[in-house]
Amino acid sequence: MSNHHNNGSRASETEQMAPSQCLKVFIQRDYSEGTVVKFQTRFPQELEGRINREDFEHTINTLNGHFAEAEKASCSTYCEGCLACITAYLIYVCKETHYEKCLRKVSKFIAEENERIYHPKGLIVTDPSLRGLRVLEISCLDRPPNA
């Protein structure tokens, strides 16, 4: 429950860093395998010359891996669901769900990638949970290198 408050402060921090007038590139969800959270790996033309294709693909593939882990059913997730039903979902007042833990990993990964790869190149990747897991938003803070 505490991570919901952290997302709000992280949202305002990201919004302050990315002005509304800057170029925004949206990576759409890939629904070819159903409704699981998975983003398209196609390299957007708007990022050409701004970032290496390999860095972009690493980011997308790692994010897709984290979301696949979050969606994966296991014995512990089934037990977590049963325990939630038995306790009328009161267990979630004091325990984080498996999905929330994975979303926290995604947020941490995005922050690390921004610091290591994207910020030095004038880009910001917005945590997809701040956009309802619909899109992955990449904001370009500066002008293209050849403009």
Residue 75: is its pLDDT beyond 50?
yes
Q: Which residues pair with 136 in a beta bridge?
A: 27
Q: What is the pLDDT of residues 36-53, one digit of tens each?
A: 999 999 999 999 999 999
DSSP state letter for 42: P
CB atoms within 10 A of CB 75: 7
Is residue 69 scored above 90 in pLDDT? yes
Strand partners for 27 = 136
* Mean pLDDT over each residue of the chain, to the nearest integer: 86
Note the pTM of the prediction, 2 decimals.
0.79
Which tens digit of pLDDT belongs to each residue from 106-124? 999 999 999 999 999 999 9
Range with the poorest average pLDDT among 13-22, 23-32, 41-50, 119-128:
13-22
pLDDT confidence of residue 147: 45
Q: What is the mean pLDDT of residues 140-144?
A: 71
The pLDDT of 132-142, averaged and rounded, is 91
Between residues 57 and 6, which one has the greater pLDDT? Answer: 57
pLDDT, mean of residues 137-146: 74
Instruction: Mark 123-141 as b/e (b = at least 16 C-beta within 10 Å).
Output: bbbbbbbbeeeebbbbbbe
* For the chain, domain boundaries: 2-140
pLDDT on residue 18: 52
